[in-house]
Structure 1
Amino acid sequence: MSIFDEALRDLNAAVIDTFSELVTIIPMTRTPNFQATPDTFLGPVTVNAVYRAPYALALGENRYMRGAIDVELSPGVSTTHPTFMIRTCELPWSVHHGYQVRRCQTGEVYEVREKIVDNMASTVTLRVSKLGKPLAPEDKAAQLRKRYGISG
């Protein structure tokens, strides 16, 4: 291991220690033709992660710069997905596409779209997409009663 590798690990550790927040990673089981359900075997885990919001450098109403390329966009479109950076040692299992990440501070839920492993820095970066807020169990039961015409 070189001095650069050690410095990179120390830098990432400092970033995570300084800017991290608690997130819960929920493993999901997917089966064809059915909605994904939480994996009861693995169970959720709460870890420290650095949240990086999507960004867009707007130029006028509907333009932004991506490197040296000027790109047309519709107004209000963000240019990247949000990401979470997590230390590899905090995860008891490997994160996969489709797992959910919930920010403990805000309750926002995201779905993992891509996992980027950085072995040099001992981190995992999760590229995610935001999902709608999940219904509370009481709300879900009320919604099902209304859908099927059950009173009470």
Structure 2
Amino acid sequence: MSYVNPPNFKQAMASLAGTIDATFGESIRIIPCTSRPNFPTEAHEDKAVIVQGVFTAKPELVMRSNSIAHKGAEPAALVESRVPIFSFARAQLPWAINRGDRIQRSCDGSQYEITRIEADVTSQRITCHVVELGVMSQ
């Protein structure tokens, strides 16, 4: 008998995904979008689905440099930023999620656009790295 990979390991990990969503999750709306070169993305609001997912804003240190180079300008500094990430169970989606699709939080209505998708085969979850829409960058 293998203690490293028991026979019901994948089933246990799939049930763990549901437990994570139930414990830490919130209601999020996923809106499929069509993107074309040189045109803005077209959202298909009528095909949107509501799923239970987890939102995290992971802190990150980034280097900020002064864009105006003149005598006496302040040197580059480390600034704390945040990286918004959504994760949810893959079984909740009726279609394959794509880069450019949008995610909307139900609690405050903020919208995000998906920039990168990572699938976790073990726990049957999808992790989406996103950028917030409608917020000016600093």
- Structure 2, unmatched stretches of 5+, are 1-5, 65-75
- Which residue number corresponds to residue 5 of structure 1? 10
The farther-off stretch of 44-53 and 4-13 is: 4-13
Question: Would you say 1:31 and 2:36 are equivalent positions?
Answer: yes
Q: TM-score, normalised by structure 1?
A: 0.67
Alignment correspondent of 1:89:
91
Counterpart in 2 of 1:74? 78
Tell me if 1:15 matches 2:20: yes
Query: What SS is found at the alignment partner of 2:91?
Result: helix
Q: 42-51 or 100-109: which moved more?
A: 42-51
Shift, 1:73, TM fit: 5.2
What does 1:129-140 align with in structure 2 at a 5 Å threshold?
129-132=131-134
Whether 1:55 and 2:59 are equivalent positions in the alignment is yes
* Secondary structure in structure 2 of the residue aligned to 1:54: strand
**Structure with greater strand share of residues:** 2
* Alpha-carbon distance, 1:101 to partner: 0.3
List per-residue Cα deviations over 1:10-60 (Å, max 9, x = no partner). 3322111111111111111112221111136x7111111111112147xxx
Alpha carbons 2:60, 2:80 under 8 Å: kept? no
Higher relative contact order (CA 8 A, sep 6+): 2
User: Aligned residue pairs: how many?
Assistant: 117
Alignment RMSD (CA, Å): 2.4
Label 1:29 to 1:5 Cα distance change in 2 as closer, same or farther (>3 A): same
The aligned counterpart of 1:43 is 47
Distance across 1 between alignment mates of 2:18 and 2:8: 15
